Amino acid sequence: MKLAKRWVAAGAVLLAAFLLALWLRPAGLGPTSGQPAGGAKPAAPATQPGKSLDDLLAAGQRARTNASSQDTQVEICGHGVFDARTDERVIEALGERLDSQSLDVLRRAGLRLATRADVNERAVGLWAQFAAELSRWMSSDAYKEQSTGQTRLPMPPPVTRPLSELIRLAADSGSPAVYRLALSGCLDWGLKPTVCNLISWTTLAELEPDNAANWLQVAGQAQLRGDTAAWDDAMRRAIAAPRHRVGVLYASGTLATAMEGLAEPALQQSALVRTIGIEAMLSVPQNAAFAASRWCPEPQRQALSAARQKECVALGQRLQQSDDITLAGIGYGIQGRFASSDAERAQIKAQSEALQRARLKHAEPEMGPGLMSCAGIAATRARLQHVAQIGEAGVAREALVHQAQAAQSGTR
């Protein structure tokens, strides 16, 4: 299926929200019968949480084992195993129902977390309410009309309340995790709420000066406004910082647990997939990536001093240790630009490609039609919570270490 190939290339579940149609509309299929595999009627929509995920996992495995055509099966946890060749309409209708209810699950999970004593959990709760309203607005006809022909996205009035509360919580608490969530909602939407002026990347960098990711964001803003001195200063602070933590999908990892018990597993998964897509859209460190890449351009395009070239090599090494897979890749790219030989450049390229392969291989259980299976749901939760802790690049590096250990054991 074409969408499956695109999903693999995009990095599996972390971009799954943009490719939810993967399991809704299998490509290249003929006429549909509207009946699930084996001729049985589709399971009735579950309106209560019902059986546990463990029970559904076992039932799903039995159904897949008993089915005759494994290659075209699409399991939807709690609803049965369907044949993609004949059941496209049934799968699509069920998928549309789950998708239509997913934002309500996200909102309710946010309301649940917003009452917690822990300030970081409360922040995720406010962010979830903001994300649900934002997603609903971006799906509306009014948004589409306003955004037509614009280079900046219009900021819809309905999202002001939860975002304003989140920003004030960040300003009052001084928590770096809360700051990051609040700043993700203060993008250049065109009608940015004035409450966003209460927080800034510079303040976050001062609160958490040992995190290179914050200084790169400061550098990105300085580069955009043409402040070369501030850009240089922030880049050097990023190089000197001992760690690099972007924290992409921190909210999604927290919400994966908060959603438990609010809906059936398939609906929780649909809501979680939406959440991942929203957080990825809001948290991509685009300005930071541009600032780093443009500070260390190709040597043949712009002459750099020996001191700057040395700094760029150090920057590349720092970025390679980022928890963000995009910035880690940029780090390898920058280091490759200043390699002393073709052999060294080839080695750096091989390391970068190995990291990307490990990233995709680790996400294989969640790819393709298995996304909505009970096993896929369990794998998504486990992996997402791990990614929320150490980042997708961190998970990929762990996988490479395990591969090397396994290879070493095999040679003994």
51: its two tokens: 């059986």
pLDDT at res. 258: 94
88-113 and 119-138 helices, crossing angle to 10°:
140
pLDDT at res. 136: 86
380: its two tokens: 């998504």
Residues in the chain: 412
Q: Which residues pair with 333 in a beta bridge?
A: none
pLDDT at res. 285: 75
Residues 6+ apart with CB under 8 A from 112: 125, 258, 262
Residues 6+ apart with CB under 8 A from 158: 133, 136, 137
pLDDT at res. 58: 53
139: its two tokens: 């799906």
CA distances to 237, 383, 384 from 401, rounded to whole Å, are: 29, 17, 19
pLDDT at res. 302: 72
**pTM of the complete model:** 0.80
Residues 6+ apart with CB under 8 A from 370: 75, 376
pLDDT at res. 17: 33
pLDDT at res. 13: 37
SS3 annotation, the chain: CHHHHHHHHHCHHHHHHHHCHHHHCCCCCCCCCCCCHHHCCCCCCCCCCCCCHHHHHHHHHHHHHHCCCHHHEEEECCCEEEECCCCHHHHHHHHHHHHHHHHHHHHHHHHHHCCCCCHHHHHHHHHHHHHHHHHHHHCCHHHHHHHCCCCCCCCCHHHHHHHHHHHHHHHHHCCHHHHHHHHHCCCCCCCCCHHHHHCCHHHHHHHCCCEHHHHHHHHHHHHHCCCHHHHHHHHHHHHHCCECCCCCCHHHHHHHHHCCCCCCHHHHHHHHHHHHHHHHHHHCCHHHHHHHHHHCCCCCCCCCCHHHHHHHHHHHHHHHCCCCHHHHHHHHHHHHHCCCCHHHHHHHHHHHHHHHHHHHHHCHHHCHHHHHCHHHHHHHHHHHHHHHHHHHHHHHHHHHHHHHHHHHHHCC
Residues 6+ apart with CB under 8 A from 246: 213, 283, 285, 322, 323, 324, 327, 391
Nearest to 176 by CA among 217, 227, 115, 117: 217
pLDDT at res. 72: 79
Nearest to 72 by CA among 374, 368, 366: 368
pLDDT at res. 362: 75
Could you read off the pLDDT tens digit of each residue along the chain, which spans 412 residues?
A: 333 332 233 233 333 333 332 222 223 222 233 333 333 333 333 333 444 545 554 554 444 444 444 567 888 999 999 988 888 899 889 989 999 999 999 999 999 999 999 999 999 999 999 999 888 888 878 777 776 666 555 555 555 789 999 999 999 999 999 999 999 888 755 556 678 889 999 999 999 999 999 999 999 999 989 999 999 999 999 999 999 999 888 999 999 999 999 999 999 999 999 999 889 888 877 788 889 999 999 876 678 899 999 999 999 999 999 999 889 999 999 999 999 899 999 999 999 999 999 988 877 665 666 888 898 899 888 888 888 889 889 999 999 998 888 888 776 5
